[in-house]
Structure 1
């Protein structure tokens, strides 16, 4: 997949977070999968998305994730 395709997928994911966060675990897993794919292909991971991934990782590892108020 081309980097532009990844950027479009990231934009879609971010708009879903802004519009209706729905299942935060699902969003976390999709973001994690997308960023791991970028890493595997040697593409750059934007700092803000890496930071978001790390934040969500911490939230879910401590049991603090799950509602929009924690994000």
Structure 2
């Protein structure tokens, strides 16, 4: 899949996440799949997508509880 096509799909998923917060976890999974596709194809992630991935990590990664 072409780089620009994947970026366009990511933009659509991100917009959907903003419009339907109740579907955020499903959309987050789909966003990560698109980012992983870019990585698997050896394409470098642009800075904006790197920031997006970090934000996804902060938002959706459960925090570990201290013991």
TM > 0.5 between the two?
A: yes
Structure 1 runs (4+) greater than 4 angstroms displaced? none
Partner of 1:53: 53
**1:28-67 alignment, distance < 5 Å:** 28-59=28-59, 60-62=61-63
- How far apart, CA to CA, are the structure 1 residues paired with 2:12 and 2:58? 23
Question: Larger C-alpha radius of gyration, 1 or 2?
Answer: 2
Higher relative contact order (CA 8 A, sep 6+): 1
Aligned mates of 1:11, 1:47 — CA distance in 2: 14
Q: Which runs of 5+ in 1 are unaligned?
A: 64-71
TM-score, normalised on structure 2? 0.71
Aligned length: 63
Could you tell me the TM-score, scaled by structure 1's length? 0.68
Alignment root-mean-square deviation, CA: 1.9
1:37 Cα shift?
0.6
